[in-house]
């Protein structure tokens, strides 16, 4: 909520100083907590009012049939939708028999803050009931980054100016009513009452609910236990039913007297374990959490985040909002993956139900790029999840008449959930995106155990897909026809440049990795001559080029299409997908999100500097950025080819994507790929960082808005700190053995604890290219 009067700009936290119910759903996403296994939206403690309630367990979903007006071979039969599981956040408060609800009475003061260093959501407010009784409430909430199944809440109520009777009701609630935003195709299609009760237990301060998801059959368990500090004559009662468990603590408070409750929560799910086994699992996790206690849980949380920031922090001098935004982004990215452990990282993380909780290609290209450079172990876990999908992906390829593995465009459990072929199944680039993530990870870690195991298998199966999907034309070129690239305003094109250059990398990398690990390649059935065929296809890959215009067409023939009537498109008609048929979009030159420009970034080695300048200028004129994935890509290439101030405006747009709700759907959850894009815009863009087979390189340069950029990255078990100033860059090897890398054309070698300074060469100023009418990147600050 950058620029919103209820929010302050601070370098290490997101703080709300007044409660605005008009943006309640958006703030619930911003204040969400997660650890990759368990996610909790930032709903108010008392449960109501809410914008969108939400508690999520990674990969817990419901199945619903996908209806088709006309049956088509190969169409997916069912849709997976993320499930809002049992809500353990609720702690209701009654003051003299009046329920605390901020819509009634008077909210005299309010402050809520998410601290990126502690991983704790703090809330403090003062409320006066309709009858005049006043209480002061303080709460702290965390989802543990250390104890995977655990969350905890510390809740304290204090009498203010007169004696009050208070009742705290701590609850577990299943099958909450969830609003549906039917006007937006990006929103979730939430199933109604998806949880069937299996057991409920209440005993003393402890309670548990067990449910089974109606159609998917997944079993879910949630349990809670409590400790409290209270005045004498405090009473407690507990009860449970099929969908509600409750502990009630009743006391009387004199002015200044407090009642404190600490609530421990444990969650688990399984597709195979019995009800008793799952019940025992959460009971054990709950017992450990209660034994640990709030203070020790908070200490564990702080240490985990100290370790993360010590190897990953980005410091920005010159723009306080950008500083806050990048740390906000990095915090949410880290907590989305920290304990995911062989589970996916959904497009919205576990912050909301947007896109039905599905994982797309942006995990592999954007999120894993960030994680590989900051927390490589979490990137490896995500890729091992991709590897676990191979049985389904192989079956899908066979269904499509192809070899290898065809990964789903959108999924939770590995099966395709996209009902629209051109924007789903035809986006075969997902296979190359997975391979790119493998290559990027191996370049950055030299993890040969991973290469022999999951890495090679992923590369081999995706290479086999490309070799069967493409074909050799009459001139000896290797073509990949009838596919959809990253740009969702184009579909079923021949030789999409992004797809082809990424498939080329995939084929070469598979051949090289199989050659390095022949025994493992033999186990995978790589036949003599197969690697040679992959290399041959990569070498002969068709890369379209329009000599008339001197640019690469996004796909063959794209630059011959009619240009979209940008001047005749009203501002309220964006995003175009909500106002125009795809048929019209598909046959015009209009780009939803950077496609060819993303290829310039990820496969920079495949294009000359002149190509990059001309291609960037051309696609700026027709890219409307109706996708949250676009601005960051444009920022990186704008920083590389020259218009630094334009690059910074795109970086700002990426940074504001969720904090200013630019896409108007933050109510459904955060855009993790755009959050990663904010980091990419700074580190890959203005830091000029690239990782290739030749090693690590930097081409830094700063826009006028910044006086200094400092960032840390992990590379081959080393920790490197880079400081970019206006005229020079400083490189420091904080940890690890000698490291060699390049700064522009200079080779830099560092020993542990040593640093080096290098001048940043001046670059010719280039005029900024134009954008479609009304789609210029926004100005978020006054340039000086």
Active-site annotation, residues: 488
Element (H, E) at 583: helix 582-586
Tokens describing residue 693: 């087979």
Dihedral of the alpha carbons of 401, 406, 412, 416, in degrees to the nearest 10: -30
Q: What letter would DSSP give residue 454?
A: I
Which residues of 71-133 form beta strands (DSSP E)? Answer: 78-82, 91-95, 98-99, 106-115, 120-128
CA distances from 457 to 390, 450, 462, 525 (A): 9, 10, 9, 10
For the residues of 483-521, what is the DSSP string, one character each? B--S-TTS-SBSS-HHHHHHHHHHHHHHHHHHHH-HHHH
- The answer to whether 222 and 208 have CB atoms below 8 angstroms apart is yes
* Distance separating alpha carbons of residues 342 and 377, to the nearest angstrom: 11
CA distance 313 to 295: 25
What tokens were used for 258? 């407090």
Integer CA distances (angstroms), 108 to 17, 27, 126, 207, in order: 12, 20, 5, 34
Residue closest to 166 by CA, chosen among 176, 155, 158, 174: 158
What DSSP designation does 339 have? T
DSSP state letters, 642-693 = S-HHHHHHHHHHHHHHHHTTTTS-GGG---HHHHHHHHHIIIIIIS-EEEET
DSSP labels, 598-634: HHHHHTGGGS-HHHHHHHHHHHHTTB---STTHHHHH
Q: Give the dihedral sign, CA 738/740/741/744.
A: positive
Nearest to 560 by CA among 588, 582, 591, 590: 588
Residue 641 burial (C-beta neighbours within 10 Å; 0-12, 13-18, 19+) = buried
CA distance 235 to 384: 50
The per-residue DSSP string of 732-780 comes to: EEEESS-EEEEETTEEEEE-TT-EEEEE-------PPPP-STT-SPPP-
- 232 burial type by CB count under 10 A (0-12 exposed, 13-18 middle, 19+ buried): exposed
The tokens for 452 are: 């022999």
Q: How many CB atoms lie within 10 A of CB 625?
A: 25
Separation CA 598–CA 591 (nearest Å): 12
CA 615 to chain centre: 28
β partners of residue 150: 266
Contact 89, 43 (CB under 8 A): yes
């Amino acid at each position: 909520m950058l620029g919103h009067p209820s929010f302050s700009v601070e370098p290490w936290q997101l703080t709300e100083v007044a409660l605005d119910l008009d943006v309640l759903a958006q703030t619930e996403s911003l204040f969400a907590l997660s650890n990759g296994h368990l996610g909790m939206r930032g709903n108010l403690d008392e449960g109501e009012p809410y914008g969108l309630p939400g508690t999520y367990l990674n990969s817990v979903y419901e199945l619903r049939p996908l209806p088709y007006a006309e049956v088509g071979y190969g169409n997916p039969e069912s849709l997976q939708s993320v499930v809002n599981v049992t809500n353990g956040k609720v702690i209701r408060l009654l003051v003299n028999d009046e329920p605390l609800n901020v819509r009634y009475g008077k909210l005299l003061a309010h402050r809520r803050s998410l601290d990126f260093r502690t991983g704790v959501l703090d809330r403090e407010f003062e409320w006066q009931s309709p009858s005049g009784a006043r209480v002061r409430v303080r709460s702290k909430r965390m989802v543990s980054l250390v104890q995977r199944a655990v969350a905890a809440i510390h809740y304290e109520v204090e009498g203010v100016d007169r004696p009050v009777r208070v009742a705290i009701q701590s609850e577990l609630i299943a099958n909450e009513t969830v609003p549906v935003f039917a006007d937006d195709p990006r929103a979730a299609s939430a199933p109604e009452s998806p949880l069937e009760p299996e057991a409920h237990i209440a005993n003393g301060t402890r309670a548990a609910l067990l449910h089974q998801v109606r159609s998917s059959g997944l079993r879910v368990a949630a349990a809670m236990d409590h400790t409290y500090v209270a005045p004498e004559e405090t009473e407690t009662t507990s009860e449970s039913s099929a969908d509600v468990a409750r502990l009630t603590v009743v006391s009387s408070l004199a002015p200044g007297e407090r009642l404190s409750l600490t609530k421990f929560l444990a969650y688990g799910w399984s597709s195979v374990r019995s009800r008793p086994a799952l019940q025992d699992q959460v009971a054990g996790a709950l017992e450990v959490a209660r034994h640990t206690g709030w203070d020790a849980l908070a200490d564990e949380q702080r240490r985990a985040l100290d370790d993360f920031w010590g190897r990953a922090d980005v410091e920005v001098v010159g723009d306080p909002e950008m500083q806050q935004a990048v740390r906000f982004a990095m915090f949410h990215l880290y907590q989305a993956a920290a304990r995911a452990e062989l589970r996916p990282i959904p497009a919205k993380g576990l912050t909301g139900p947007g896109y039905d909780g599905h994982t797309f290609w942006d995990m592999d290209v954007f999120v894993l790029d960030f994680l590989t450079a900051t927390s490589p172990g979490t990137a490896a876990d995500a890729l091992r999840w991709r590897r676990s999908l191979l049985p389904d992906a192989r079956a899908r390829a066979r269904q499509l008449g192809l070899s290898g593995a065809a990964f789903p465009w959108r999924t939770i459990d590995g099966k395709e959930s996209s009902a629209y072929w051109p924007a789903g199944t035809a986006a075969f680039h997902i296979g190359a995106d997975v391979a790119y993530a493998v290559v990027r990870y191996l370049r950055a870690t030299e993890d040969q155990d991973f290469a022999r195991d999951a890495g090679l298998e992923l590369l081999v199966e995706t290479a086999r897909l490309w070799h069967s999907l493409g074909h050799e034309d009459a001139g000896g070129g290797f073509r990949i026809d009838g596919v959809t690239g990253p740009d969702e305003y184009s579909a079923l094109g021949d030789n999409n440049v992004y797809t082809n250059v990424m498939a080329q990398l995939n084929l070469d990398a598979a051949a090289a990795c199989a050659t390095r690990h022949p025994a493992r390649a033999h186990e995978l059935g790589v036949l003599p001559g197969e690697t040679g065929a992959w290399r041959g296809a990569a070498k002969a890959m068709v890369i379209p080029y329009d000599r008339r215009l001197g640019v690469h067409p996004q796909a063959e023939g794209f630059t011959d299409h009619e240009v979209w009537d940008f001047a005749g498109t009203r501002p309220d008609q964006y995003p175009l997908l909500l106002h125009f048929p795809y048929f019209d979009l598909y046959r015009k030159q209009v780009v939803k999100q950077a496609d060819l420009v993303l290829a310039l970034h990820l496969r920079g080695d495949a294009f000359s500097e002149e190509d990059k300048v001309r291609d960037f200028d051309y696609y700026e004129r027709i890219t409307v950025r109706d996708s949250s994935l676009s601005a960051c890509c444009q920022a990186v290439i704008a920083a590389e080819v020259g218009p630094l101030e334009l690059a910074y405006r795109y970086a700002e747009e990426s940074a504001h994507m969720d904090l200013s709700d630019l896409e108007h759907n933050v109510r459904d959850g955060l855009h993790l790929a755009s959050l990663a894009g904010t980091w990419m815009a700074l580190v890959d863009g203005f830091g000029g960082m690239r990782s290739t087979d030749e090693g690590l390189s930097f081409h830094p340069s700063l826009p006028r808005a910044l006086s200094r950029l400092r960032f840390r990255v992990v590379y081959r078990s080393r920790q490197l700190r880079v400081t970019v100033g206006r005229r020079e860059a400083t490189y420091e090897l904080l940890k690890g053995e000698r490291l060699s890398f390049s700064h522009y054309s200079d080779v830099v070698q560092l020993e542990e604890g040593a640093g080096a300074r290098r001048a940043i060469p001046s670059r010719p100023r280039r005029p900024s290219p134009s954008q479609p009418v009304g789609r210029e990147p926004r100005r978020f600050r006054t340039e000086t």
